[in-house]
Each structure stands twice: as C-alpha cells, then as structure tokens.
Structure 1
Amino acid sequence: MATPFVVNIDPVALSLGPLQVHWYGLMYLGGFLGGWALGEYRRRQGRLPVSADRFGDLMFYCMMGVVLGGRVGYMLFYTAISWIWTDPLAIFRIWDGGMSFHGGLLGVVVAGIWWSRRNHVKFFDTIDFVAPLVPLGLGLGRLGNFINGELWGKPTDLAIGMIFPHAPDALPRHPNPLYEFALEGVVMFTVLWLFTLKPRRRYAVSGLFALMYGSFRFIIEFVRVPDAQLGYLAFGWVTMGQILSLPLIALGILWLVMSRRAPYAPVAPVAATAATAT
C-alpha cells in the first residue's frame, strides 16, 4: 500500500525581511488579476457594453465585495456572534484567517447592484457577465486552502487519502480542497465559459452558476469535516455550508426557469461603445 501524501507545504511563498508573502494571498491576487483579464476579454467581445473605465470600476467593486463580504460572512456564519461586543476589531484581522465564499458572493451581489444602478445597466446583465469569471478565483482559493493544510475531509481508506498535519490525528483524509478545486474551479469554469461562448438569455448564466456551485458544495460537504466551533447543525450530518448552499440551488433553478421567457442579454462590439461610453 502506498504511503499517503503528507500535506506539509510551506504556506509562505516568499520572505522579504520581515515581510512574508503567503501562497493564499497570491492565490487571491491571481484570481483577481485573472478574472479582470478574462472580464476585459469578454467586454471587448461586447458582453458588457460599457467603457474600459466603467468596467474597471465594476471589477474593483467586486474585489472589495469579495474581501469585505467574505470576512463579514465568515464572522457572521462561522463564529460566535459575541465577537460583536467582545472583540469587534476581529472583523478586520483578515490575516488571522477566516473567509466565507457565501459572504463573498453576497458582497459581489451588493457591488453589482451598486454599479448597475450607477451605470444604468440591468442587474442580471451585470451578474451574468461576472459569473463565468468567479470559478477562476474559487479554484485558486481552494488551492490556497490545500497549501495551508486546512479544510480537510473525513478519514478515508481510498488511495487519494492524504495526511493533514493540523488535523487532530494522522489518519489519511479526503483532500477536500482538491475536490472543490476540481469541481468549483475547473469544472465550473469550463462549463460556464463554454456556455457563454454564444449569447444567452438573461438569468441563464447566473442560474447555472448558482445551481452548479450550490449542488457541488452541498455534495462535497458530506466528506468535509465541519468547522470545530460549529459542528453539525442538524440530524448529525447537516453543515452550515449545506444550509447556505440550499438557497443557491433553489435560486439557480428559479433563474433557469425564468430565463426561458427572458430576452437575450445585449451584446455590442467594443468599437460601438467606445465613442459614446464614458
């Protein structure tokens, strides 16, 4: 029997004197820059008929939504609410760890609403544009989790089992971050990118994103060890991640149904908007 791989990777990618650059932070940076580049490519195809400046504003607001929403979401969903009055500054200590995808998603939604209203763009046209860019950051973020040796799964006898030194024992476990990298990153990016190669009806892209992520996350949670401070919330198997994913599954189905009678999202070549957009 092969010896299980030990996830003992140095989380620090580069040290410059007292400054340490962590792989996890680089993954976030790669997700932001990659999403920005892919978004600019789609903008030039006319998938979001606005100027480069307005597109840059959207990407900046979305990045802020991911960071702020992700941190606030983690503190609200995954920690004791008493931090609000006992240690309110904890919400700013991002370096202590703790980011929630569901919180980051809500942050992006708020950013999308704000930007859409300011630029007179239909909200779902904005979100349908952004959705295919998200899996890149999702996948890289999960690689960062793997490098950190966190979010391990339950013990397994399968050959894919790996040993996580920070786990409470030395048993081979499901490499949950790699599962999420494959499904939420590679699979979702591929499907959504191919799906959007031709114009789609409003709501369709957002619906497919929500349904896929919610379903993948709900299933993967069955082999993931829940956060120690929460444990299982119901029936001895329901996790917070599953509870937060159920609304996404429901919304995904609803939006896909709504898309059947919705108009196609507007597509205008960048040359047609460059002279008039500001």
Structure 2
Amino acid sequence: MSKAAFPGDKDREERYWRYHDRNLEDFTNLYDLNYKILDLRKNYLDGIKNGTFFFTLPDGRTSSDGTPEIKIRKSIMDFFISGKQLLNNFCKSELLDDGVFKLSAFLLCKDNTVENYLLSTQERFRFKNSYKKIVDIAKDAQHDFKKDFMDLRNSFEHLYAPLIEPFQITVDRGQIRIIEPSYNSTNIFELVEKYYERTLDLIEDMAAYFFGINACVMSKGYMTLFKRKNEVDPSNFKYRYTITLDVGDPDLIRIINCDSTT
C-alpha cells in the first residue's frame, strides 16, 4: 500500500522498512499469545473432561490440578501487556505521520486531548477532511474497545491475581459442569478474542485509509481504496482492503473518491 500511495518516495520507503524491522515482532507476539491462550483453554477443558486435571475420588470427593489455570492467567496477562506495547509502538512508528498529522497526538489520547488537537491542527492537515476520518476511526475505537482494553491492562498490572477468577468445576448427577472465568460478566476468553481482532482491525483500518487517500490523490483518481465485500482469504491474496484501479470487480466496494479527500 505504501508503494501505491507514495511511488518513488525514498523517505516513505525507509519509514516502511524501519516500521517493519522494529514492529513486526509486536504483531507476532500478540498473534502467538492469542493462539497460545486458545490452546491452553482447549487443553484444560479437555483435561477436565477426560480426568487428567479433574477427577472424583472413591469417597465421592473431587480433586483437581489447577496448574493449567496458572499458565492461562499468566498468558492472559502477557497478552494485555503485548497488546498495549503493540499500540504504543505503532503510535510512535511515524508510519502514518504526515506533517502536523501525527498518530501520537490522538491514537492513545483522551477525547478532550484529541478535540484540542483537532481544533489547533486540522486546518493544517494536508488532506483536512480525510485525515480527520482517520482520527475519527481512532476515536470510535476508543469507545468501542480501546479504553476498556487499556483500563483492564493497567488493572492486571496492579491486581493480577484477583482479576481473573478461577474456573468453577462441579459435578451434577455424574455430569461435569464448567463455568469459565469472566470479567464484568463477560467470558475472559471472549474478551481476549475481541481485543485481539479489534486491535488488528484498528491498525489495518487507519493504515488502509491513510495510504488509500494518498494513492487516490497521487494517481489523480485512477487508483483508490476498496474494501472486500465477501470472505477474506489472505492465502489467496484476498485482503480486507486493496488499493487498485476501478475495474468493476463486484466483490470490491470503493471506499475513497478523490473529491472527498480535501
């Protein structure tokens, strides 16, 4: 996308490779932790059901091995730490910076700080209305998940043990019943999956819009940003977003028109 938006721009090329070299590990860590948590969860649930981690003694009492829960709690805490690090480093990467338009001025800031930034700076954005759209994407994410994510991450740092409840395992008429940990009445594993997906979507949305705007203007409208309507399949080069010529592909929705990039 960067090449399509800034063809032949050496500074932009250097920014991209600097971002790639410094930030790729952040994405890898978050990806690995998300799937590690899923695997730990599955293995523990399977182990409870097959008698590896939970069993009934001859006298009717139950016994359990809570070691997997310690690993799960540790991995969830690491996930939140990694997610915050990913957003912090993306914010500081300068990948999407353009003059006075700077991610660090709004991506991880409170609403009043963002509003003050827009009041003092928006008129000097290279693309006044379109760059504000990227700010709006970040603001929407703040209310959708980012504030809760950061609050929970900070709570984990100070209240690690009590925040993640233990699994509740009971036997009722010979059937094992399991209640998984929750936070504010939401299953903790569902929260992890939500934050994982929303964090990556946020970064992709902002990057796609930034490069799409610039590609549209640089090409005088011949190339612009499209979003895929149907199933995304990166293995077959079917990404959520693409910058390309408008060839009438029914699977692509045009997102940006050059007359809206001022």
- TM-score, normalised relative to structure 2: 0.34
Asked which structure has the greater RCO (Cα within 8 Å, sep 6+), the reply is: 1
Structure having the larger proportion of residues in strand: 2
Larger Rg: 2
